[in-house]
Each structure stands twice: as C-alpha cells, then as structure tokens.
Chain A
Amino acid sequence: MNEPSAIFTSSPWIVAVPFLVGALIILGVRHSKTLSMLLSVGAVTYGFIHSLLILQAFVQSPKLAPYQVNCDWFLSSSFKLSMGVMVDHLAAVMLIVVTTVSLLVQIYTHGYMREDPGYSRFYAYLSLFTGSMLGLVVSTNLFEMYFFWELVGVCSYFLIGFWWYKVSAAEACLKAFIVNRIGDFGFLVGILLFLSATYGFWQGHTLLAFSDPGNFDLTGAIRWAVQHGSLTPEFLTIISVVLFLGPMAKSAQAPLHVWLPDAMEGPTPISALIHAATMVAAGVYLVARAYPLWLTPDGSTHSGGLAVVAWVGGLTAFMAATIALSQFDIKRALAWSTVSQLGYMFVGLGTGAYTAGMFHLFNHAFFKAMLFLCSGAVIHGLQGEQDMRQMGGLGKKMPVTAACFLIGTISISGVPPFSGFFSKDEIIGSANLFSFGPFASLLGPLTTLTAFLTAFYMFRMFFLTFTGKYRGSAHPHESSWVMLMPLVVFAVPSICSGWLGTNIEALRQLLAGATPTAWPNPFMAFLFFGPEAEFEPLNASVMLTSTAVSLSGIVLAFLVYTRGLSINTWCQDNLKPLYNFSFNKWYFDELYLALVNKLILPAYRFIWSLVDQFVVDNLVNFSGFATIGTGEVLRYTENGRGQFYALVIFGAVVALSLYYYVKPLVP
C-alpha cells in the first residue's frame, strides 16, 4: 500500500493556518492594518495553492484513494468520537471553491474597507470564517461537521452585524442567528435520531463517520441497522427530513429562508463570500456528503427524503425568483437570486442528479461571488446608493464592472456557452425525469419556468443599473484596480468553468452529425455518487428548451427596460395583488411576526401565568407560609425551661398510660 504524499498528510494545515492567523490578529496584530491584511491573505493564499495541488493529485491519479486522518475527540468505554481531516474528490472540489472565493474576496476587501476603523477586525473574522468553512469541508463525521457548522454560523453572525451600531444590522444578525438555531436544532435532533438507531453498530469506531475503509460509515451503519431491525425505511425518511432542517436554514430554503436577504446588512465582501458562495452552500454540501441518509436503505434515489429535498428546492427556487422580479435594492435582489439558485442545487440532489447539483454549486460560486462584488463596486462608486431606481447608465462610468456584471448575468441566466448553462441544464433535465410521488411531473416545468424568471430578473437588474440614463445624484466612478481585479479573475471561470461539464470529443462527434450515446465529461468522471459514474446521453430537447426559455427572458427584459414595453407597469396596475405579493416577499416576514405576536407570545404568557405564577409561585409561597406558621406554633414549646420540658414528658407518660389502660397491649 502506497504511503500518502506530503500534499495529503499536510492537509490539516489548510484548516489550522487561517484559525491561527485569525487568533493572531485578534490577540495583537490588529494594531497593524497592513500586517493583519498580509497575514490573512497569506493564509488563504496558502490554502488556495494547497487545494489546487490536492485537486491536481486527484486529477492525475483517478485511482488515488481518499486521504483520512483522525484523532480522538471524546472517548468512553462504548463509543469513540473523532476529529480529523478527510480529503476526497468531493472535498477537493469544495476546497477549491472556498479558497478561491475567499482569496479574491480578501483582496477586494482591502479596497472596499480600507478606511473602515474595523479593517483588522474584519480580516480576523474573514480568517476565522475561512478556517471554519474549510474545517466543515474536510470533516470526517457528522459530529465534527456540526461543530464547524456552528462555527461558520457564529462567524456569519459576527460579520452580518459587523456594523453593529446600525440598528438594521444588529437586527439582521439576530434574525440570522435565530432562524439558523431552528435549523440547527433539527440537524442535531436528526444526528441523535440516527445515532439512536445505529448505536450498536459503531463498537468503538468513529461515530457517524462519512467514509471508512472497513465500512464503518453511514452506508454501513444503515445496512447494519436495517438488518438488526432498529431502522425501518420510514424511520430513515423521518431522520433525513428532520436532519434536512439544518441545510434548509443554512442554505436559506423556504420556509427558513427569511434571514438571507436581511443578511445583506453586512459589508458586501461578506455577502459575496459567506452569503453567496460558501456558507450558504454548506447545506448543499451536507446533503451531498451524507447522501446515503437521504436514499432508501437499499441505496435507491426513489426515496421520500430526496423527494422532500427536491420539492423544497424547486418551490424555493420558484418563490425566490418571483420575489426577485420586483425588488429594487441591488444586493437584496441578488440575495433572492442566491436563494433561488440554491434551490436549483437541491433540485439536482433531490432528483438523483448528484453531480449536477454539485456542479451548479461549483459554477454558481464563481459567478455569484462576482455579481456580489460587482454590486459592491456599484454601491461604492455611488457613495452608498443601493436602490436601482437611483442608478442607470453606469456602463459608461464603470465599464469593467458592467462587463463583469454582464458576464455573470449571462452565466446565471443559463445561456451557452457560459458556465451556468451546463449545470442548470443538467438539473432541469433531471427534474423533467423526476417520477417519485404525486405531482412529480410538475417539477420539471417548475424549474423551466424558474429559468425564464431568472433570465428576466437578472437582466432587469443589469438594464436598470448599467443602461439608459443615470437617475441618481451621486458622482459615479469606477473602483480601483484592487477591487476590479478580483472581478476580472472571477469572470474567467464564470465563462468557462462549465466547460468541465462537456466532452470535446463528444462535441466533435455532435458537430460531425453523429449522436454520442453517452456524454462523459471531466467533472462527472471526477465527482459522482456510488460505485460507478453513470454518463447519460445528450438530451437535446431539454438543452434547446432551457436555452430558448432563457433567451426569451432576456429578450423580454430588454424590451421592457430598454425599449419601453410597459408590461411591468401594466402588471403593477392590473395585477396589483400579485405584484404586492412579490414585492412583499410572499408576506413571510409578516406571517412570522403575526405568529410570534398572536400565537407564540400569548401562549408563552399563558404558560407563564399558569405554571410559573399559579403553580410554582404558590408552591413556593405555601412552603414559606407553612414554615412561618409551624414556627409560630412551635416556638411556644421551645422556651428553654427544664421544668416545662419535664411537665411535657410527665404529661406524655400520663397520656400513654391512660391510652393503654383503656386499650391494653394484649387483647
């Protein structure tokens, strides 16, 4: 057996270095802004290079086994909890995503936050977040992942509330924290339920391990538990649905999505790093990493758990797209777009298109991070203006930003040959083949309709911001190159990362008139679930339909926002309830506020008055009064005089004598 190379044995440092740097900045280096920045950027640069080398090792040697190292975290006589690092193909892809986005965002941050008094603190948080996220990616078991899951949540809380003196920012970070607590509670309960069903399996091996050469992993645990009768298919479905609450909250899926648009109160680099490309993708990553939990016990994708994933994703994608249609805040509109695209990823995973879901995560990370950074450049260039009604015509003033935004917009709209097309097309194709449960045939049309809406609202944003006449009162200017260069770098994968989902030879065959029987591609050969990759033939009808739908959305947006076709005003005038429904975000916030005010708080007050005030208070008061009353009575007998005590003894003896005189001992 070959020894793992130094690239793998040193992989724990990818996680450790950002943590060390974050701690170092907080503990002292923060007084030097330049040193804080250099340390933080240096740490993530190291992670970026190391991640590329890991990817290269797997690409060059497809037979290379995953690398895993563990150390004991918690030990008892009956179980073992480990903490460690696992680097496999899935982790390698996520490492590239996290380190690339983090590196470019940290470079951009220098330009964006250069005059902010919290500049060093910001870099410290960025480093801590990056370390936490990388720890989550390379976790070896569910407990370890939960640990890092909470750490990224805490970092997100700190960063949303970075400008804590703004009431809106303080409220937004609290909202994010509370909503994520609900999801994380489900995640933890799901973990414990699964542990309860499989407890006898682990026998001293690492609890809830993702992967183990001896099959002491999630797949092995499910098989064992079913054989021993402690896990039924229905119970596994319940576990997967409860566990899915965690990804729902973290990846902002309905109805736990409400925190993400408000999280835009944080600085824009954070929106790009955490709330577009990495942390919000952690939910998708968890489902992919622990995929056996969502399958049936015999490994089929026709499961209730996956159907829930698919439908939650599909409905969220549609809902968020309809909301994005009417928003005017540039960052919040992008946030709704993120919610929608995360929904697409869940549709991919939920319909069994494992590779497509992860491929969309990979592509989306680049173009969405770029779109957010572009929005930051616009906001920066307009001295803080975020309302698209006060923009327009910025393409002439900010040509680099406009070009990058356009590339991202085309990519997310799913137009070939930009990256978003390849992954979204595969997901829509898979949704069209979805056949589990009632209404399954509606999922495909729903995702196709969402693709149309996506193209429309994204180009609406582009036209409102960058074309026409400038409608604001600021003095627009392009950003410095330290902010623009990350956009340019992101633009390259936004155009061509999707090409990893194609095969040049198959394309050549297609152009020559032959129809390839299957469609093998580098990304799928690299990353798939199960014992072997299942390449599928080209689905030309889905490809053409999704492209036509996207182009229709673009053309409609062009006509409405540059040629004065007044469909939007007609909708606002004649479909007012629908427009208001979209503008007010389907009234989720109002619904939750009403639930809290009308149901949860009154119920809490009732329980408080019944249990706390009536039962507990009265019990405490009674015990107090009883003590006082008893004391009042007994204090006359405790007077310290010997004659009185002798009299009592004498009286007792007389009383007992009389009693037994009347009632003898022996009848």
Chain B
Amino acid sequence: MSDPNGNKQKEAPEHADHGSGGHGDQGHDAAAGIIPESSWQDKLLILGAVLSLAALMYFGVNWAIAPLEVNQHGSM
C-alpha cells in the first residue's frame, strides 16, 4: 500500500483534520468501540435528527405515491 516512488503523500495535511473531539472527552481516553455518554444537548439534537428522518420519509413517500400528474409549468 505504499507509494512506489517513496514520496511522502504530498497532499497529506501537516495537521490532520480531527475536529476537537480527538483532544476532548471522546478522544484518546475513550475505550475502543464504546460510544460515549450524551449530554442534554446531544439528546435534543439526536431527537431532532430522528424527527427530521420521520419528516423526510413522510414527505418523500407522499411524493412517491402521489397521483402522477405532470407539473403544468415545467422549468422556465
């Protein structure tokens, strides 16, 4: 898997993009494979994500099963 030229990957950043979690509560100290505890903000956002999924599915299914009438205006 190495570069045959022996080159260092040119575009590899000097400082990797790791957000901040790598240095924080979910970083080196976290045991492998364990998903850390969530704060109330986390729980609120997770709930928001679940609700957004429900909304997407509801409106998406509505779109898919709606009677196939063609848009009268097209684009432009």
Spell out A's residues near B (CB within 8 Å): 34, 37, 41, 45, 48-49, 52, 55-56, 58-60, 62-63, 65-66, 88-90, 100, 103-104, 107, 110-116, 119, 163, 166-168, 210-211, 217-219, 261-262, 264-268, 288-289, 291-292, 327-329, 331-332, 354, 376, 379-380, 382-389, 396-398, 464, 471, 475-482, 484-486, 488-489, 492-493, 496-497, 499-500, 503, 520-522, 525-533, 569, 572-573, 576, 579-580, 583-584
Contacts and interface: CB of A to CB of B under 8 A. Distances in A.
Contacts of A111: 21, 26, 42
Interface of B is mostly: loop
Contacts of A45: 48, 52
Nearest to B40: A34
Nearest to B15: A166
Most buried by A among B14, B46, B69: B46
Interface of B: 1-5, 7, 9-28, 30-36, 38, 41-42, 45-46, 48-50, 52-53, 55-57, 59-60, 62-64, 66, 68-76
A107 B49 contact: yes
A478 B33 contact: yes
B74 A529 contact: yes
A556 B36 CA distance: 37
Given A265-B17, A482-B46, 8 more contacts: A56-B59, A219-B76, A266-B17, A329-B12, A376-B17, A379-B19, A386-B13, A489-B53
Nearest to B10: A584
Contact of A384 (B18, B55, B75): B18
B4 to A, nearest CB: 4
9 shortest interchain CB distances as A-B pairs: A384-B18, A384-B16, A115-B24, A115-B20, A116-B20, A485-B49, A112-B19, A572-B4, A482-B42
B68 A525 contact: yes
Nearest to B36: A480
16 contacts: A45-B52, A48-B55, A52-B55, A89-B75, A104-B49, A107-B49, A267-B19, A291-B76, A327-B11, A379-B16, A379-B18, A380-B18, A471-B1, A477-B32, A485-B45, A579-B4
Contacts of A261: 11
B75 A288 contact: yes
Nearest to A389: B1
B61 to A, nearest CB: 9
Contacts of A332: 11
Contacts of A292: 76
Contact of B74 (A328, A497, A499, A532): A532
Contacts of B18: 379-380, 382-384
